[in-house]
Amino acid sequence: MPELPEVETIAQALGASEIIGSPIKEIAVFWEKTVGGDAKHFCKKMEGRRILSLSRRGKYLIFTLDAPYSLVVHLRMSGQFYLRTPAVKASIHEQVVFTLKNTSLHFHDPRKFGRMYLSDDLENFFAHLGGEPLSDSFTFEEFSKKLQKERAIKSLLLDQSVIAGIGNIYADEALWLSSVHPLQKASALTIERQQALWKAIPEVLKRGLAFRGTSLGTGKGNFHSVNGQAGEHQSYLQVFQRKAKPCFRCESLIQKIVVAQRGTHFCPSCQILK
DNA sequence: CCATATGTTACTCG
DNA sequence: ACGAGTAACATATG
């Protein structure tokens, strides 16, 4: 269930792995919807091309292949990658297996929501995705413009066409850090709260990335990087999953409500609705 | 059995 | 037209 820091963690791990430079010799698809419903078409386009590099856009992983294609992967709720040798399906949850030169790349996805796309035009593919919150283009001026909506701020933060990469954990963390109530109408934020939130978003994302992502719970379906590597950021969460525990700023008990259909954690004392 | 889950999209309704 | 709410996707966990 990866968000920007988790996807970036995976991109960095795969980008430093032996898959780089390796040709894709064979592809086995066990759940056709994962690759868009036409496995033969998908495989034919990919087979023989090398994986040149890994990158990320929002919550999408991008495998740059020999021209003209890139393999774009969205992990959705439970997608994970494993490197194995040999290329035998090691779990019923492996939906796609890529046989490479000296290893194999396995896409493990119990809930089967993950999706793979082949694109020869990434600009067009990402045309409707918002900007990158960790890039220099994430300016206060641009952010402030996007807040001019009569809409709950949390709902806006989760909208990938507004800003790319923020999910439920980091939305709650950024709102807590900036003392903004999740149900606050975006257009009603004071300039001070706007600025606080603008600073908080990169801060919480960078912290998540520094700890190589957030791995919650005990289940294997929760986020893990390549080869099941857990992140460490769960130990540093300020508000997410802290229902009924004391706020680290004011000791009031953290509340959990539902906003935009998502569990939402906030401090009722210091995240004030105005 | 029931509720919940770090995501996205199609649909209805106002 | 826009946004909120809902169900759907499919499975695991508490």
Q: What is the pLDDT of residues A250-269, one digit of tens each?
A: 999 999 999 999 999 999 99
- In this complex, the answer to whether residue A183 has its CB under 7 A from any atom of chain C, a nucleic strand, is no
Which positions of A are annotated as active-site residues?
2-3, 59, 262
**pLDDT at residue A95 is higher than 90:** yes
Q: What pLDDT is stored for residue A219 in this prediction?
A: 74
Nucleotide nearest to A217 (CA to C1'): C13
Q: What pLDDT is stored for residue A91 in this prediction?
A: 94
**pLDDT at residue A31 is higher than 90:** yes
Q: What pLDDT is stored for residue A192 in this prediction?
A: 96
**Please, which pLDDT band fits residue A63 given cuts at 50, 70 and 90?**
very high
Q: Which of residues 216-245 of A touch strand C (CB under 7 A)?
A: 217-221
- In this complex, the answer to whether residue A34 has its CB under 7 A from any atom of chain B, a nucleic strand, is no
Cα separation, A115 vs A195, in Å, equals 35
Q: What pLDDT is stored for residue A29 in this prediction?
A: 98
Q: Over the stretch A197-233, which tens digit does the pLDDT of each residue have?
A: 999 999 999 999 999 999 998 877 799 999 999 999 9
Q: Which residues contact A16 (CB under 8 A, 6 or more apart)?
A: none
Q: Å from A160 (CA) to B8 (C1')?
A: 10
Cα separation, A244 vs A130, in Å, equals 34
**Does the global pTM surpass 0.95?**
yes
Nucleotide nearest to A113 (CA to C1'): C9
DSSP A71-132: EEEE-TTT-EEEEESS----STTEEEEEE-SSSEEEEE-TT---EEEEES-HHHHTTT--B-
Nucleotide nearest to A93 (CA to C1'): C11
SS3 A263: strand
**Please, which pLDDT band fits residue A103 given cuts at 50, 70 and 90?**
very high
Q: What pLDDT is stored for residue A258 in this prediction?
A: 95
What residues are paired with A106 via a beta bridge? A82, A97
Q: What dihedral do alpha carbons A94, A100, A102, A107 form, nearest 10°?
A: -20
Task: Name the residue closest to the C1' of C8 by its CA.
Answer: A113
How would you class A182 by CB atoms within 10 Å of its CB: exposed for 0-12, middle for 13-18, buried for 19 or more? buried
Task: Name the residue closest to the C1' of C13 by its CA.
Answer: A219
Q: Which two tokens stand for residue A229?
A: 């590597």
Percent of chain A past pLDDT 70, that is, above it, reads 100
Cα separation, A210 vs A230, in Å, equals 13
**pLDDT at residue A274 is higher than 80:** no
Q: Which residues contact A224 (CB under 8 A, 6 or more apart)?
A: A80, A215, A230, A231
Q: Å from A67 (CA) to C2 (C1')?
A: 40
- In this complex, the answer to whether residue A214 has its CB under 7 A from any atom of chain B, a nucleic strand, is yes
Mean pLDDT across A117-121 = 97
Q: What pLDDT is stored for residue A170 in this prediction?
A: 98
Return the beta strands (E) in chain A as ranges. Answer: 26-29, 51-57, 60-65, 70-74, 80-84, 94-99, 104-108, 115-119, 255-259, 262-266
Q: What pLDDT is stored for residue A166 in this prediction?
A: 98
Q: Å from A151 (CA) to C3 (C1')?
A: 8
Question: Starting from the edge strand earliest in sequence, which strands make up the sheet with A60-65, in order?
Answer: A51-57, A60-65, A70-74, A115-119
SS3 A5: helix
What residues are paired with A225 via a beta bridge? none
**Please, which pLDDT band fits residue A162 given cuts at 50, 70 and 90?**
very high
**Please, which pLDDT band fits residue A272 given cuts at 50, 70 and 90?**
confident
Q: Over the stretch A17-30, which tens digit does the pLDDT of each residue have?
A: 999 999 999 999 99
Average pLDDT, rounded, for chain A: 96
Q: Å from A195 (CA) to C4 (C1')?
A: 27
Give the number of other CB atoms < 10 A from CB of residue A93.
19
Cα separation, A151 vs A33, in Å, equals 34
Q: What pLDDT is stored for residue A16 in this prediction?
A: 98
Percent of chain A past pLDDT 90, that is, above it, reads 95
Q: Which residues contact A53 (CB under 8 A, 6 or more apart)?
A: A15, A20, A63, A64
Q: What pLDDT is stored for residue A217 in this prediction?
A: 82
